[in-house]
Amino acid sequence: MEQWVWPPRYDETHRPPDGQTHWFPRRETMPAERRDELIAARIREVMAYAWDNAPFYRRKWDEAGIHPSSVRTLADFEKVPVVRKEELRADQAANEPFGSYLCVSPDEVKHINGTSGTTGRPTAFGIGERDWRSVANAHARVMWAMGIRPSDTVLIASPLSLYWGSWGAYTGAERLGARVFPFGAGTPGQTARTVRWMRQMGVTVFYGTPSYALHLAEVAADEGVDPASLGLRAMFFSGEPGASIPSTRSRIVEAFGAEVYDSGSMAEVAPWMNLAAAADEPGVLCWQDLVYTEVCDPAGHRRLPYGAEGTPVYTTLERTSQPMIRLLSGDLTRWEAPTAERGRTYPFLPRGIYGRIDDMFTIRGENIQPSAIDDVVMAVPGYGGEHRVVISRETAMDTLAVQVEYDPGQPESSLPGWAERISNRLRTVLGVGATVVPVRQHTFDRTEFKARRVIDNRELLRRMADEPLPGREP
């Protein structure tokens, strides 16, 4: 029943009694050191499998002078070179359609998902039936820890397209035995219909992005429906920072009155619920026996001690079609050692994933994460629901401006003082001042998916400087 074998095999009839908090008690609560020994052994098997089946890995490790048999411990494993998303993209371009890291025959691919391709060529995920089942079983297990039960109706409120997020939540909820409602998101007018259908179907659990949940709350209110009356019991999120960011989280809780669970890593490493909360609190556990997470130094890619901030590097331990072995995320987090207190002996990321290294910007020597700005402005009474962060260059100095929508309930005469209070708060938190510009509610578009709130005018200026003027030779 509770097995952990390679290649993975699951008892599809297993489901704990409702009152039991762990789906797989032994795997989830064993001493972390013991689990690490088992992970080291599993990594050897996964690497040997990839060596035998994936020219991509064989070439890469050959060049680095590494053979799976030389990786005996987790310390050895740190030396295995990381895989970057660009490498996967390039390998797929050269080896259409799934890349030379596909370890099963193309005939065995039963599901296709992909990246949205906003940054370059999209990457295809070719998923074999075995992997689809492993993801379903893993996600059911993680969702069980969130308290989701067969009696729940789970709304999938994210795009049902290439996005692994929606399908991962779908297949997990289905495996758990819940009622799945794949309503999707992203088509015109859909959000108002979502509100109506949620009521009619008695939805109890919501899945989507934090930005979309806040948008849904606004639309519900516009439709005369108090979001708290929708009857949601639990909401779980992935895709962007928010569920572990205090002010975003409290706005969601205040609107819906539901429990909030953060989850999610990267589509490539599905089961992407490998990072997920198992309690109604900010932060996520690293479910190490599904995907082995190392928080690493962003330059050398060596594992950092607990307590440190770094970038997650992921290794799938149950994927057979496109295994990911030390995939570099480029995200930022801080991790803490496993304790028995959280009921599962996994490392903990108390603030979840709070941003991407690439999205960080520097103003007068201070490194700033967009999510830190979200946290400040969303906590301000009178916040109107959206904001934009504008970085510009005036003379030699970069400047920061934040346009913040205000609630129409605020008298206009109070706005200068309101803006100044936000500005002061930003200075305290970020270490640099920002110009705060109040703007009317609904100035900015809402998103059904992942929010992009930073406008980098320096980038625009750089691009304009690089582009040839019409009529002039480049």
String of contacts with ligand 8LQ for each residue 132-171, x by CB under 6 A:
--------------------------------xx--x---
Residue 239: CB minimum distance to ligand 8LQ, A: 4
CB-CB contact of 383 with 422 (8 Å): no
* Strands, E assignment, 329-431: 331-334, 348-349, 355-356, 361-363, 366-368, 383-394, 397-406
Cβ(145)–Cβ(22) below 8 Å: yes
Please answer whether residues 101 and 57 qualify as being in contact, where contact means their C-beta atoms are separated by less than 8 angstroms.
Answer: yes
Which residue, 44 or 301, is less far from ligand 8LQ as judged by CB? 301
Residue 242 or residue 384: which is nearer to ligand 8LQ going by CB?
242
Closer CB to ligand 8LQ, 258 or 353, in the complex? 353
Using the Cα atoms of residue 83, residue 89, residue 90 and residue 95 in order, give the sign of their dihedral: positive
Q: Does 352 bind ligand 8LQ (CB under 6 A)?
A: yes
Contact residue for ligand 8LQ among 135, 216, 353, 389 (CB under 6 A): 353
Q: Among residues 109 and 273, whose Cβ is nearest to ligand 8LQ?
A: 273
Q: How far apart are CB 250 and ligand 8LQ at their closest, in Å?
A: 17
CA nearest to 4, candidates 31, 34, 42, 32: 42
Which residues is 165 bridged to in the sheet? none
77 or 236: whose CB is closer to ligand 8LQ? 236
172 is a site residue for ligand 8LQ (CB under 6 A): no
Element (H, E) at 456: strand 454-456
List 309's β-bridge partners, or say none. Answer: 334
Report in angstroms how near the CB of residue 204 gets to ligand 8LQ at its nearest.
21
Minimum CB distance to ligand 8LQ smaller for 167 or for 181: 167
Q: How far is the CB of 183 from ligand 8LQ (least distance, A)?
A: 17
Strand partners, 262: 237
Which residue, among 213, 281, 287, 214, has the nearest Cα to 244 in the 3D structure? 281
| Cβ atoms of residues 325 and 315 within 8 Å | yes
Collapsed DSSP state (helix, strand, coil) of residue 176: helix
Cβ closest to ligand 8LQ, residue 374 vs residue 419: 374
Nearest Cα to 152, choosing from 210, 206, 217? 206
Length of the chain, please?
Answer: 474
Smallest separation (angstroms) from ligand 8LQ to the CB of 10? 21
Q: Which of 233, 356, 425, 446 binds ligand 8LQ (CB under 6 A)?
A: 356
Shortest separation between residue 174's beta carbon and ligand 8LQ, angstroms: 17
Considering only residues 219 to 278 of the shown chain, the ones binding ligand 8LQ according to CB under 6 A are 238-241, 262-267, 272
Positions that interact with ligand 8LQ (CB under 6 A): 164-165, 168, 238-241, 262-267, 272, 329, 331, 352-353, 356
